[in-house]
């Protein structure tokens, strides 16, 4: 994975994860089983689904803290800021899945509830649940199967992984809908229904001319309110959010093509080369030309 930390005036922004193994394949899914004691504040532009196997600790998602313990399942949407720490003297062992949102919103399953789960609905969505009893036993077996399948090289592997991933999400949804006595307290997000469809739209149309004004008109929300929501949800200004998506696209073109850099700027959605150059340097810490030369040397 790659981490970017902004410097200078943007140093308050959390770390930004923008790549993971397999991200550029036709099945953008990655899974690992790892032990942690502490993970600093960060965000990423892909979905993360995790399952705690051993240990206890605390996680903060957009500033709201919850407990981590065996059986805790966490579903993080793109760009949510989070961090976690193990209890002193302990280690958290976790399964972690990273995957592209389009892996789940492109098929007919989106009409069955997946889209509402990921993008938002009238009811606030739980970011985390804790499986107990029979559900915990079922979860352990399911996540073990998912991990074994990921590590294998069997035929139809992507099909099996997607099926198991959907099963894990179904277990998450059913766990969050338990009666009050079993339900984990929900993390309330104001206006979640209005912000996440916009995030998904920007994610799908970032190469097109976009602005707070045009988005506010399309989604019937005041530009000031939309700007405030981006700041509170992601700790970043809308324009920087948009530019980061475009810079990622530009990086792919710089690495994989010999297009002139000025053309790449426009191919990546920027209306002017100076804006592209400033944004690229702020995000990557170097010029587009230096980035291309560095990547070509490494490859």
Task: Indicate whether 41 belongs to any domain.
Answer: yes
Q: Choose one of 152, 176, 200: the last residue of a domain.
A: 176
The verdict on 46 and 122 lying in the same domain is yes
Tell me which residue range forms the domain holding 219.
192-298
pLDDT digits (tens, 9 = 90+) for 79-128: 777 899 999 999 999 999 999 888 887 778 877 878 777 765 555 567 89
The whole-number average pLDDT for the span 194-218 is 87
The verdict on 114 and 168 lying in the same domain is yes
Residue 2 has pLDDT above 70, yes or no: no
The whole-number average pLDDT for the span 257-267 is 93
Helix 288-298 to helix 238-256 angle, to the nearest 10 degrees? 50
The whole-number average pLDDT for the span 211-225 is 92
Could you give the number of structural domains in the chain?
A: 2
CATH of the domain at 168: 2.60.120.280
pTM of the full structure: 0.71
Task: Indicate whether 128 belongs to any domain.
Answer: yes
Mean pLDDT of the chain: 84
Task: Indicate whether 248 belongs to any domain.
Answer: yes
Task: Indicate whether 123 belongs to any domain.
Answer: yes
pLDDT band at 191 (very low <50, low <70, confident <90, very high): very low
The whole-number average pLDDT for the span 126-141 is 94
Residue 149 has pLDDT above 80, yes or no: yes
**Hey, which residues does 3 pair with through a beta bridge?**
17
The verdict on 140 and 220 lying in the same domain is no
Q: How far apart are CA 82 and CA 60, in angstroms?
A: 5
The verdict on 169 and 35 lying in the same domain is yes
pLDDT digits (tens, 9 = 90+) for 6-42: 333 333 345 656 667 887 788 999 999 999 999 998 8
What is the per-residue pLDDT for 150? Answer: 97
The verdict on 48 and 161 lying in the same domain is yes
What is the per-residue pLDDT for 18? Answer: 60
Count CA within 13 A, CB hemisphere, residue 134: 1
20 closest CA partner among 39, 48, 42, 41: 48
Task: Indicate whether 270 belongs to any domain.
Answer: yes
């Amino acid at each position: 994975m790659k981490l970017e930390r902004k410097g200078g005036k943007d140093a308050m922004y959390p770390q930004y994860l923008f790549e993971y193994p397999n991200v550029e394949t036709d099945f953008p899914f990655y899974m690992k089983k790892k032990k942690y004691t502490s993970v600093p504040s960060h965000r990423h532009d892909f979905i993360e689904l995790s399952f705690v196997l051993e240990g206890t600790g605390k996680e903060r998602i957009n500033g709201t803290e919850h407990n981590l313990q065996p059986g805790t399942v966490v579903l993080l949407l793109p760009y949510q800021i989070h961090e976690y720490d193990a209890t002193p003297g302990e280690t958290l062992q976790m399964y972690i899945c990273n995957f592209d949102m389009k892996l789940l919103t492109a098929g007919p399953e989106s009409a069955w509830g997946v889209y509402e789960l990921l993008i938002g609905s009238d009811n606030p969505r739980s970011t985390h649940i804790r499986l107990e009893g029979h559900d915990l036993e079922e979860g352990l077996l399911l996540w073990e199967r998912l991990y074994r399948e990921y590590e294998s090289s069997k035929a139809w592997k992507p099909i099996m992984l997607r099926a198991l991933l959907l099963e894990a999400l179904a277990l998450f949804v059913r766990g969050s809908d338990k009666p009050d006595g079993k339900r984990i307290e929900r993390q309330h997000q104001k206006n979640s229904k209005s912000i996440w469809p916009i995030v998904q739209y920007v994610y799908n149309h970032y190469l097109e001319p976009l602005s707070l004004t045009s988005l506010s008109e399309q989604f019937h929300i005041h530009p000031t309110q939309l700007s405030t929501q981006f700041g509170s949800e992601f700790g970043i200004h809308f324009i920087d959010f948009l530019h980061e998506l475009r810079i990622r696209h530009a990086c792919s073109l710089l690495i994989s093509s010999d297009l002139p850099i000025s053309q790449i700027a426009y191919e990546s959605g920027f209306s002017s080369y100076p804006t592209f150059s400033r944004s690229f340097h702020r995000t990557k810490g170097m010029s587009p030309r230096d980035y291309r030369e560095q990547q070509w040397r490494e490859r």
